Amino acid sequence: MSQVNRLSGGQVNRNTELNFRFDGRSFKGFEGDTLASALLANGERLMGRSFKYHRPRGVLTAGSEEPNALVELRQGNRQEPNTRATVAELFEGLEAKAQNAWPSLRFDAMAVNDRFSNFLTAGFYYKTFMWPKPFWEKVYEPIIRKAAGLGSISFEEDPDLYDKGFLHCDLLIIGAGPTGLAAALTAGRAGARVILADEDFRMGGRLNAETLALGDVSGADWATETLAELASLDNVRLMTRTTIIGAFDHGTYGAVERVQDHLPQAVAEKPRQILWRIYSRRAMLCAGAMERPIAFADNDRPGVMLASAVRSYVNRWAAAPAQQVAIFTNNDDGHRTAADLIAKGVNVPAVIDVRADAPAVAGTELLAGAEVIGTQGRLGLTSITVRLANGQTRKIMCGALAVSGGWNPNVHLTCHQRGRPQWDAELAAFVPGPDLPIGMTVAGAANGQLSTAQALSGGATAAVVALNDLGVAASPIAVPQAEDAPIALKPFWHVRGGKSRAWVDLQNDVTVKDVKLAHQENFVSVEHLKRYTTLGMATDQGKTSNMLGLAVMAELTGKSIPETGTTIFRPPYTPVPMSTMAGRATGKHFHPTRKTPSHVWAEEQGAVFTEVGDWLRAQWFPRKGETHWRQSVDREVLQTRKSVGVCDVTTLGKIDVQGRDAASFLNKIYANGFAKLPVGKVRYGLMLREDGIAYDDGTAARLAEDHFVVTTTTANAVLAYRNMEFARQCLWPDLDVQLISTTEAWAQYAVAGPNARKLLEKIVDADVDISNEGFPFMACGEITICGGCRARLFRISFSGELAYEIAVPTRYGDALVRALMAAGEEFDVTPYGTEALGVMRIEKGHAAGNELNGTTTAQNLGLGRMVSKKKDCIGNTLSEREGMNDETGLRLVGFKPVTDTDPVLAGAHLMNASGAVNARTDQGYVTSACYSPILGSAIGIGFLKDGANRMGERLRAVSPLEGSEIQVEVVSAHFVDPEGERLRA
Amino acid sequence: MMIDHPLLGLRDAQEFTYLGDASLIDRPDWQAKDAQDQFHDYLYLRDNPAGEHRELWFHETGDRSWLVVTRNTLTHEISKVELARDVARARGRST
């Protein structure tokens, strides 16, 4: 019973027998098999169910273009759907499952769809599920989703490692068939840096699948010899199991290398697949050609295969698809299949050739001018019905039918930069057009040179041309004597007059009748045809079906094929797993994690962290006995306002600005004036966009005549620096000013609270005067602390308290926080996190990201008078536009709930005390809200129409999203210390 | 895409941040009589050519140069790369 259809010879290793399971049954195969070849050797033709009608399907091809034999490979968290059995390399213990079949492959309940096929034609969904409208989301779509689709996923995390890599070469050769090998040898011997990539695990392409000789050796042996020489060359990199998935700009190619897919289990610490980015100076597409089928009634039964695939299975894998194999062809190439089968001892009952003048075939009967008009067999082919030239029909018993409709050059990658293939009448196929991706040439069968001799010489010659182009001298290798048969083909696409459906696209279950229906409903453009019928979609991108669909449409419209058009191809060439696209950028490695200098210390304190962009910042520091975050935050706020608190503010952007013109440069960057800021002083600055909208605020400290330190918000650190460089290089290129981002170079802490000075006095060196007189509010300076450590001190306050920000080189950041906390012990110092920071800034009415939200002007923020009209700065001209200067426009104000216990919600909209609640009556919105432990109630700040003139007014804050509506009173946004006495103390 | 940086040679476009039309260099005179109209046109009106386009790229993860790249929007072919500062000076910008 084991391997009943295994033949002699082939390139499988009979010394290594492999056990595998398919759909719950055990089989044996050999090393070198694919899952498809091993199943065929075991007499298994049924490998899947079709997408829509759940028709039994077998393997059509022997390559990555396979539309039918899609399986689920492996189990558990390694389960992968939609793997083509034709490229799945066999390994010991392989587990595969047919997909899209329930309860089993042999009996599939959903095959009932096939009985209703008259209704399930093209456009069925569009026409049927139109009404009632709510049914789509709740009823129709879930049912359709469950019934349709291909494989399933495990929903578990992929345990394997995936990686990305970069390669450079002079010449990238895509495909290692006769063309690619001749090109690689030519270029390799010339000393060029060559990458030869092939998706197969054995290089050689059709040389491994044909019996044709090259000189006095077999094609496969010539390939082996050539590869041995290439492997000995240091300048040549051979990449098997590597698919070039896309041709991108400027000679960049994407490649997926399946490093460990062929192993029973991936070796840990090694990537399973690698996504390569290959930078090539020149590329040669040597991707060969793909055979195309002919459509006829019931041409989808397991056993109906492409003739070239039958040769691959018989010659390379020594696996016969069946004991009796008939041939249906429109060209001489199909006859080779008969010859090869007979040579291997497989019975060929007949060759059916549509050409009346077809040449005779030795060893079998030729039915010239005949056509296959039907097939029989429920789960696999048992016989075919043939209409002979004289009109009579004949039934022929066979378990497989090898079909050849001619060859399509594999132009996929030539289209990735919008290149359009052009029609070659002699081949009756599309060949690459003139608009190739820059640096790409096409040779061999991919270029329409279909004979082996043409492939070899075409590859060698094209390599020489590409290298000469790069200034590398090269001469073509001496190519061996090889087959050079002319094209002998009669264009023939589908058999007319069959009783059953004739399948065009096997993966999407599109029939000749569906194409006719699309035409009848006026979807005659190829692009419309594709979208209406789904022809050419899904995992195979219509590699075996597009041409056929196009030919049928051409016939219906009465136009030629080139007039009808062609669809082009997009990357990727074959499906790429999401894991491979992601590489190592998964989970917490999805984006980098930036840690502040006090991170380790904060962890020791048990801090709760929050993500702010890439940064991790301490959100609050829970103490023993605190069970709710609010307890911690309230305590941090109260303790800071009562005594002193310390907060890491390193994440704020820092930009060092130096040069003779530094002041006049900042004067152009900020809306408010900076030219006259004295040395040793800090000023608040507002940055506008050129359209007049406020986008960032911060401070600039003047450390010297020609030296400023600018701070930005954490979120805009990168953008503000980019904009400043733009202004420096593109707008005012002759200003003497230099910029550098120093965000990571300095660790910075806010020390805030009435005892802040007392605390710092214990840290700063003796000669540093930080008294209120010596170092008043908004002072700055370069000082030393802790006995000589250089530091920068800024007397600025975000909390509204007496406060400083102190910065030291980052490497001292951890030591400084520990020193500050130790020095503060006698004041019961508290560390505080971003929550307390936020509470205190709302209590002070300071704007942050919620207020600088991309729609607000300086006027809205109540900072209108800051915008200088006496100088040129970014945004000032357009900030004067009428619509942005409405006297009764939105103004930043504060809100207190009328009932103390009511929460204020950020995002709530403000409505008058009575009247309708809608967009027309909208008075503004709450931007930030929190609980204020100082005031003992919730508070909010936000924008209110004519807000400055509405103090004391009662409004409704409405949040339909949260289903809440409360009464609020309009108050000043400065809840705490409105006169600013504390921060000047 | 690859950008031939005038100082650093061929660099991957991933290292750059794109801004847009190089006409953003030609910031109007704020004291012109019709300054608002000029700024409006400067900020909001752009040509959208199918073909050659001069545009600003910032070498953000590189040397922080702003570049003016002449790129064909149909083929992505890059025919010229200049330092934006040189372009700005040639167009009369100074301080």
- Give me the interface pTM, i.e. the ipTM: 0.99
- Judged by average pLDDT, the poorest of A279-283, A285-289, A416-420, A811-815 is A416-420
Q: Which amino acid is at A225?
A: E
Q: What pLDDT, on a 0 to 100 scale, did the predictor assign at position A142?
A: 65
Are the C-beta atoms of residues B19 and B12 closer than 8 Å to each other? no
Q: Which helix (H) or strand (E) holds A976?
A: none
- Burial class of A891 by CB neighbour count within 10 A (0 to 12, 13 to 18, 19+): buried
Is there a contact between A733 and B1 if contact means CB atoms under 8 Å apart? no
- Cα four-point dihedral sign A465, A469, A470, A471: positive
Q: What is the pLDDT of residues A559-592, one digit of tens each?
A: 999 999 887 899 999 999 999 999 999 988 999 9
Structure token digits, residue A144: 């359709």
Q: Which one-letter DSSP state was computed for residue A680?
A: T
Rg (CA), chain A: 38
Residue A110: band (very low, low, confident or very high) from pLDDT cuts 50, 70, 90: confident
Which range has the worst mean pLDDT, A123-127, A309-313, A419-423, A485-489?
A: A123-127
How much is the pLDDT for A136?
Answer: 63
Per DSSP, the three-state class of A294 is coil
* Interface mutation vs chain B, best among A166, A876, A877, most B CBs within 10 Å: A877
d(CA A138, CA B85) in angstroms, rounded, equals 59
Kindly determine whether residue A417 and residue B60, on different chains, have CB atoms separated by under 8 Å: no
Q: Per residue in A688-708, pLDDT tens?
A: 999 999 999 999 999 999 999
Domain A308-405 in CATH 3.50.50.60? The answer is yes
Pairwise CB contact (< 8 Å): A733 & B27: no
Instruction: State the pLDDT at residue A667.
Output: 97
For residue A194, the tally of other CB atoms under 10 A from its CB is 28
Closest-CA distance of chain B to residue A948, Å = 28
Written as six digits, the tokens of A845 are 């009415």
Q: Using the predicted structure, report yes or no on whether residue A20 has a pLDDT greater than 90.
A: yes
Residue A826 has a CB neighbour count (10 Å cut-off) of 12
Selected residue with higher pLDDT from A128 and A263: A263
Q: Is B19 on the interface with A (CB under 8 A)?
A: yes
Look at residues A663, A722, A732 and name the one whose alpha carbon lies nearest to residue A695. A722
Q: Where in chain A are the domains?
A: 1-159, 162-289+409-469, 308-405, 492-589, 594-651+745-832, 653-741, 841-869+886-971
- How many cross-chain Cβ pairs, A to B, lie less than 8 Å apart? 82
Task: Select from A258, A281, A272, A260 the least CA-distant residue to A197.
Answer: A258
Q: Please give the CATH number for the structural domain made up of A1-159.
A: 3.10.20.440
Residue A111, pLDDT score: 74
| A204-256 confidence digits (pLDDT tens) | 999 999 999 999 999 999 999 999 999 999 999 999 999 999 999 999 999 99
Residue B93 has its nearest CB partner, among A252, A418, A731, at A731
Query: Which residues of B fall within a CB distance of 8 Å from A872?
Result: 30-31
Decide if B88 and A730 are in contact by the 8 Å CB cutoff.
yes
The answer to whether domain A162-289+409-469 and domain A308-405 are alike in fold is: yes
CA–CA min distance B71, chain A (Å):
12
- A147: confidence class by pLDDT, cuts 50, 70, 90: low
pLDDT of A104: 78
Closest by Cβ to A438, choosing from B28, B60, B77: B77
Is the bond leading into A103 cis (omega within 30 degrees of zero)?
A: yes
Domain ranges of chain B: 2-25+38-90
- B94 contacts A732? CB cut-off 8 A: yes
B58 contacts A877? CB cut-off 8 A:
no
- What is d(CA A909, CA A465) in angstroms, rounded to the nearest whole number? 70
Q: How far is A739 from chain B (nearest CA, A)?
A: 10
CA–CA separation, A221 and A201 (whole Å): 16
Query: A546 to chain B, minimum CA–CA distance in Å?
Result: 26
- Provide, rounded to the nearest whole percent, the portion of chain A with pLDDT above 90: 87
For residue A149, pLDDT over 60 is answered with: no
Name A956's Cβ contacts closer than 8 Å, sequence gap at least 6. A910, A911, A912, A913, A917, A965, A966, A967, A968
Distance from C-alpha of A210 to C-alpha of A863, rounded to nearest angstrom: 81
- Report pLDDT for A130: 60
Tell me: pLDDT of A124 over 80.
no
| Residue in chain B lying closest to A437 (CA) | B75
> pLDDT category, A137, cuts 50, 70, 90?
low
β-strand partners of A182: none
Task: Please report the pLDDT score of residue A266 as a whole number.
Answer: 84
**Residues in contact with A158: Cβ distance below 8 Å, sequence separation at least 6, in sequence order:** A77, A78, A579
State pLDDT tens for residues A64-73: 999 999 999 9
Tell me if chain B has a CB within 8 Å of the CB of A417: yes
- For residue A214, the one-letter residue type is L
Residue A481: strand pairing partners: none
Domain B2-25+38-90 carries which CATH code? 3.30.2270.10
**Given CB atoms, is B66 within the 8 Å cutoff of chain A?**
yes
3-class DSSP state of A816? helix
The CATH H-level (homologous superfamily) assignment of domain A653-741 is: Aminomethyltransferase beta-barrel domains (3.30.70.1400)
Q: Are A274 and A162 in contact (CB under 8 A)?
A: yes
Work out the average pLDDT over A861-870. Answer: 92
Residues above pLDDT 70, as percent of chain A = 96
3 state DSSP class of A705: coil
What's the whole-number mean pLDDT along residues A449-469?
97
As a whole number of angstroms, the distance between CA A638 and CA A843 comes to 12
- pLDDT value, residue A200: 98
Please give the mean pLDDT across all residues of chain A: 94
Q: Which residue has the tokens 């056509």?
A: A371
Do residues A789 and A812 lie in contact, with contact meaning Cβ atoms separated by under 8 Å? yes
| Cβ-defined contact of A734 to B66 (cutoff 8 Å) | no
Whether domain A841-869+886-971 has CATH 2.40.30.110: the reply is: yes
Structure confidence at residue A861 (pLDDT): 95
CATH numeric code, A162-289+409-469: 3.50.50.60
In Å, the largest CA–CA distance within chain A is 115
Element (H, E) at A187: helix A178-189
Q: CATH number for A594-651+745-832: choose from 3.30.1360.120, 3.40.50.850, 3.40.50.2300, 3.40.50.12780.
A: 3.30.1360.120
- pLDDT number for residue A128: 61
Q: Spell out the SS3 assignment of A717-757.
A: HHHHHHHHHHHHHHHCCCCCCEEEECCCCEEEEEEECCCHH
Q: CB-based contact (8 Å) between B65 and chain A? A: yes
C-alpha–C-alpha distance, residues A495 and A164, integer Å: 48
Measured between beta carbons, which residues in chain B are less than 8 angstroms from residue A416? none
Local structure of A395: helix, strand or coil:
strand
A691 touches chain B (CB under 8 A): yes
Mean per-residue pLDDT, A589-618: 96
Residue A113 has pLDDT above 80, yes or no: no
Contact at 8 Å (CB) between A674 and A861? no
Q: With CB atoms and an 8 Å threshold, state whether B76 touches A417.
A: yes
- CA distances, A621 to each of A433, A830, A839, A901, B72 (Å): 66, 9, 15, 25, 55
Q: Is the pLDDT of residue A125 over 80?
A: no
Model confidence at A337: pLDDT above 80: yes
Residues A164 and A82 sit within 8 Å (Cβ to Cβ): no
The token duo for A588 is 């917490």
Contact A731 B27 (CB under 8 A): yes
pLDDT at A815: 98
